[in-house]
Amino acid sequence: MNKLAIVALGGNALLRGNQKGTVEEQNQNTTDTLENLIFLIKEGYDIVIAHGNGPQVGNILMRNDAGEQMYNIPQMPLDIDVADSQGGIGYMIERNLRNILKKHGIQKDVITLVTQVVVDKNDPAFQDPQKRVGKIYTKEQADDLSSSKGWIFKEEVKAHGGWRRVVPSPKPVRVMNEAIVEDLARKGNIVITVGGGGVPVYEDENGQICPVEGVIDKDSASALIGARIKADEFYILTDVPFIYKNFKKENEEAIEFLNYQDTLELLKDGQFAEGSMAPKIRACLDFVKNGGKKSVITEATKLDDRKYGSKITMEYEN
């Protein structure tokens, strides 16, 4: 049986911070990133791909807002927006990956799944929304929207100030259709799933699937589906080749090999910033704790060079 790897593409895999977000830019970025996955395929890995959607779903929310204000088009709820972004980004990844596979003479099917991810409706995150989404509003606009739609806002201390909507980011509990993902991947198909962390839903007391106005961390959902489909390795592709101790300080130190306990101690020590590396570290720890053999954090262009990447295992590799 081939090794199975789940690969989580960061937001910069599709849209760079200094770009407008045109389809041409995103297609080029996607192609450049996916080209690096050919190494794993040629090494004999079966692949499942996850991806972020932060900039894209933010743009969808702003289009919703403009459509409502200018043309009285009803806004869609956040679960529909996440599903929209899953479909659009999944299509972009799938089409470009098919072209790359053809260029390398590799015959594989690629399939995109619009994926629902179950959360606990009693998750504490619902009582403390923190995830910022959508555009920046003035205080007056935020107050109006809070009154008319029930949205919650927090002041935006970065950029140029203003107020942004915040939504819950509950922990994923179960990925729908995970058995199908495993079956397709084990048969050699490349599966794109849990895009943007998946569409968050919960089950009510009657077993009905209900939508959630929130978002799920992409790396946490990727680690969950990876463990549930018994993947061997979990790769988080980001914009740095390693994780670092004392990041951006004079005594900065790149770390290549870590075990579970030492990584946990570094996390508790505050070595990894919340909102950037800390969620990735937690996802990597969850993956190996729940049966995965290895988690790797690295830059996409370094994937084919084994001397790069921070590798986290339950015990130190021999």
Residues serving a catalytic function are: 11-12, 131, 218, 280
Are residues 238 and 222 in contact, defined by beta-carbon separation less than 8 angstroms?
no
Beta bridge mates, 191 = 48, 111
**Distance between CA 3 and CA 283 in Å, rounded?**
20
User: How would you classify the pairing of strands 310-313 and 294-299?
Assistant: antiparallel
**Which region holds residue 275: left if phi is over 0, alpha if psi is between -120 and 50, else beta?**
left
Beta bridge mates, 51 = 9
Beta bridge mates, 172 = 119
**Distance between CA 164 and CA 136 in Å, rounded?**
5
Backbone angles phi, psi at 237, to 5 degrees: -95, 120
